């Protein structure tokens, strides 16, 4: 039995409102006999227009090593590159009607060359991907559309195990399918689904095609983005996982502003708290994040966090363990102000922390453009002290080497658009059409390299 992410998608349009629980009986519907009976229909009539279908088209590239005998006799290249077209269908949710923002899972739109969003009224729009975060599996799209509605956003931190929930999406390509259930667990991590895990677990039926779809409460407010299932052969067995709405909003706000996620950094190492560790520390807590080491001059160090502390809450919300703390901090963004509650020598202490910046300035270039595979890029300066993107390493025989990149090159422009940093370089390549010319500083000379 393994964890499988759904291959198709559902996306959600949302704005901010507060969450409060209700019961099924609070949603009246009058049947033919005029007797009031519970029904989800009135809520769904308001919520489902914000859930859209997503169709993607793209090309998958695979590489295969050529056997030595073929290289010897025929002079074949070291590897063969094969490109295969692919198509996918799924769903999504609008989170801002005015701006046309649609959120879905990253794995739904990864490698897509064209993304089409279809509304429930049949209208279709080509979507632009504003950015995505692979480690948390979130992507933000934008469509130019009028007369659309957004799904209001709930405070997912207020969720409780046992709250009623409804999943809306397109399982197996079936449009506008609704299932219901409850919140089965909160703060799930350690599932090896993504780099940062803090999932809502639900027994509402989620199948292939629900990825990126909406998990809503009985007010029709978005509480999570359906992301993964646990079951044999990808079928539903009542164990599904959703990214909390608050985490999603933190990430999409950063993507909308910066084009990428700028992760917050606390600067600690640690582990989960269990009964044995709590006994050894003589602490009257059995849940939380144990701090084993604090990085000097980090946000944690400056806030006064010490090795041996147990962090039990973030902004007043209790923690299950270290992985949940890691996911919450990473999604909050650099510079965010956070209140952490720690237990130290049996006493609870509230500490205010301003998070550092965990944004990586060194990246492997294939994550930016496939033609640059084999190069490692970092922020830096050229020989004249001007900012640019430094090529710190180029693998021999790689696509980047064939383009003409060399070690210590400094890329300062794309199609004569100045690029000072890795994020600016990425944005310039995303906006470039057709043939791409890289302006490179090499020693004291300026050269142009062409990507076709």
Alpha-carbon dihedral 200, 204, 209, 210, rounded to 10 degrees: -40
Active site residue 137: yes
- The residue behind tokens 């292939």 is 208
- Catalytic site residue from 96, 137, 198, 427: 137
Q: Are 227 and 92 in contact (CB under 8 A)?
A: no
Active site residue 107: yes
By CB atoms closer than 10 A (0-12, 13-18, 19+), residue 172 is: middle
Report the distance separating Cα 110 and Cα 113, nearest Å. 9
Q: Which long-range contacts (CB under 8 A, 24 or more apart) does 182-187 make?
A: 183/159, 184/238, 184/239, 185/161, 186/159, 186/160, 186/161, 186/320, 187/319, 187/320, 187/321, 187/324
Report the distance separating Cα 213 and Cα 191, nearest Å. 20
CB atoms within 10 A of CB 197: 23
- Catalytic site residue from 10, 184, 211, 331: 211
Structure token digits, residue 345: 């020598």
- Catalytic site residue from 107, 189, 369, 409: 107
**Residues with a known catalytic role:** 107, 137, 211
């Amino acid at each position: 039995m393994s964890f499988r992410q759904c291959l198709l998608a559902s996306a959600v349009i949302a704005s901010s409102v507060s969450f409060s629980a209700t019961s099924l009986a609070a949603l009246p519907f009058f049947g033919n006999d005029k007797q009031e009976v519970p029904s989800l229909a009135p809520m769904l009539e308001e919520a489902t227009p914000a859930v859209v279908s997503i169709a993607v088209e793209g090309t998958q590239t695979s590489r295969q090593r050529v056997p030595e005998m073929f290289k010897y006799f025929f002079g074949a290249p070291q590897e063969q590159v094969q490109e295969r077209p692919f198509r996918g269908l799924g769903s999504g949710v609008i989170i801002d009607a005015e701006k046309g923002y649609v959120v879905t899972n990253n794995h739904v739109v990864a490698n897509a060359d064209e993304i089409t969003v279809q509304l429930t009224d049949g209208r279709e729009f080509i979507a632009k991907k504003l950015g995505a975060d692979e480690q948390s599996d979130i992507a933000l799209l934008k469509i130019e559309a009028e007369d659309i509605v957004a799904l209001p956003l709930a405070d997912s931190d207020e969720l409780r195990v046992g709250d009623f929930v409804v999943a809306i999406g397109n399982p197996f390509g079936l449009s506008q399918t609704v299932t219901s259930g409850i919140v089965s667990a909160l703060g799930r991590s350690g599932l090896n689904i993504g780099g940062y895990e803090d999932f809502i677990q639900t027994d509402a039926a989620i199948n292939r095609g629900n990825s990126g779809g909406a998990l809503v409460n009985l007010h029709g407010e978005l509480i999570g983005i359906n992301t993964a299932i646990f079951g044999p052969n990808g079928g539903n067995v009542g164990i599904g996982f959703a990214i909390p709405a608050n985490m999603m909003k933190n990430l999409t706000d950063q993507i909308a502003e910066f084009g990428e996620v700028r992760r917050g950094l606390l600067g600690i190492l640690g582990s989960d708290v269990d009964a044995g560790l709590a006994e050894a520390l003589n602490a009257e807590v059995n849940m939380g994040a144990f701090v084993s080491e604090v990085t000097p001059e980090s946000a944690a160090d400056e806030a006064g966090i010490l090795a041996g502390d147990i962090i039990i809450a973030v902004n007043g919300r209790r923690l299950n363990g270290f992985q949940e703390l890691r996911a919450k901090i990473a999604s909050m963004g650099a510079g965010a102000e956070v209140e952490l509650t720690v237990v130290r020598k049996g006493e609870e202490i509230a500490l205010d922390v301003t998070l550092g910046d965990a944004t990586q300035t060194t990246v492997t270039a294939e994550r930016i453009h496939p033609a640059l595979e084999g190069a490692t890029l970092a922020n830096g300066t050229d020989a004249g002290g001007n900012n640019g993107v430094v090529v710190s390493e180029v693998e021999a025989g790689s696509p980047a080497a064939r383009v003409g990149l060399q070690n210590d090159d400094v890329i300062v422009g794309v199609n004569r658009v100045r690029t000072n940093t890795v994020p600016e370089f990425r944005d310039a390549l995303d906006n470039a059409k057709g043939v791409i010319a890289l302006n490179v500083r090499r020693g004291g000379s300026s050269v142009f390299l062409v990507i076709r």
